Structure 1
Amino acid sequence: MLDLHTIYLRMSVLHTLYLTMLDLHTIYLRMSVLHTLYLTMLDLHTIYLRMSVLHTLYLTMLDLHTIYLRMSVLHTLYLTILDLHTLYLTMLLLHTLYLTMLDLDTLYLSMLDLHTLNLMLLDLHTIYLTMLELHTLYLTMLDLDTLYLTMLDLHTLYLAMLDLHTLYLTMLDLHTLYLTMLELHTLYLTMLELHTLYLTMLDLHTLYLTMLELHTLYLTMLDLHTLYLTMLDLHTLYLTMLDLHTLYLTMLDLHTLYLTMLDLHTLYLTMLDLHTLYLTMPDIHTPYA
């Protein structure tokens, strides 16, 4: 039940191919060993599978525009109920990729050993995942505008139910980052080994975390305006339920700082070995150094 336009199967060992109820326009399968390919109920426009060993590819109920799978061993790719516009999967050994119920505009996955990526129920606008061994990334129920994940060994990143505007994660060994239920405006995490960062239920405006090995930072239920944490080995910092206006913590070995339920206007803590500072419910309008 299809109007067939162009299928090439060249120099491949075929094990299971289903082509059902679609107006097919262009499929190339070249120099590949095919194990399981389902193409069901879609108006197909362009799929190239070149020099790859294919193990399981499902493309179901979508208006497909452009998929390139080049020089890769594919293990499990699901593309379901989406209007696909541009997906590049290049020079990677793919292990599990789910793309479900989204209007995809631009996703690049290049030169990485992919282990688990879930992209569900989002209007995707620009994601770059480049030169990294990916271990667990969830992007769920968000209108994504700009996400760069570059040259890092990713261990656990959750981005859930947020209107994302600008997130850079660059050259870091990421261990646990939760970004939940917030409209994100500018977050830079650069050249650090991250151990535990929670950013929850806040409208984030400017947070820089640069060149530090982070051990425990909680930023919870606050409208954040300007926080710089630079060149410090951070051990325990709680910033809770405050309208933050300017906090600089620079070049210090921080051991325990609590800033709770205060309207902060300017606090400088510079070049000191801090062991325990509690500031609870004052209205600070004076710098401390």
Structure 2
Amino acid sequence: MSITLAIALGAALLSPPHLTALPADASGPINCPKPPKTITTSDGRIYECHPEEGMNPYHDVTPPDDKTHWQLPFDNPGPPPFGTETYHPPESWPFRAILFSGNPRAWDRIFFYVFDHQGVIVDSNEPDAIGNQMMEVRVSGVRMWPTARVYYRLIPNNEQDKNKRLKNTSRIGDVAYYALVMDGDMLCPALDESTFTSWPGNKQAARLYINGRCGEAPEADTSHWKYQVNSRYYGYPGFESSGLGLTWTFWRHDEPDRPLHDNQGNCLVFCDK
């Protein structure tokens, strides 16, 4: 064997492969190298392995990319008279309904919202969501998310109960639970990666950031679901190897209503259609 070939083979053995799925077995020098060595998946996520942690040894340490949306830091959030935070409903809300599950913020929950043309929620399996309105947030007239159309589920501006309106401020800090992202013709649940990643810069950044690839979301593979749904489901790109379970479906007001089922076949809304 030539020296050149031997060096090439040695390099191949030492370089961890781009895995199409995280290994079920964390043992072995390739499956779980000691930190700071990492595993890179074929879709670009980076994992640091901690085999001493047993069943969950893989820590996602993928840094934000150039499409990530960052929330602007403000010193004066909160509604008047406490701050300069204001809420702005859309002139016209084009989406009729959305259903999503697998949100890292609430793994075991399925959420659906049905909207009117002003973005007011008229039906939902989340009782306190009914009557809320999808609104953008601005502070001192500046959009809190300058590079994305982020709409929070908030208590409407005409609500007379000040204590209820004050709840909006706490919701704004929980973008993964209360916000949707509109990107062209797409509507997506906001994906706050800080809820499930261990990227070392999270603490230093001290700012909320969300995945910026809503508009690129491909159709999700639902072939393994117990119930074969009659709607097109989507998932954020880049998480096929890691098994992130966030999937969603939606439709617009200019589409006919249709029964909306979860992945177990249970009809949730429009069941008489």
Question: What is the TM-score with the length of structure 1 in the denominator?
Answer: 0.17
Return the structure number with greater relative CO, CA threshold 8 A, min gap 6: 2
Question: What is the TM-score with the length of structure 2 in the denominator?
Answer: 0.18
Q: When you count strand as a share of all residues, which structure comes out higher?
A: 1
Rg larger in structure: 1
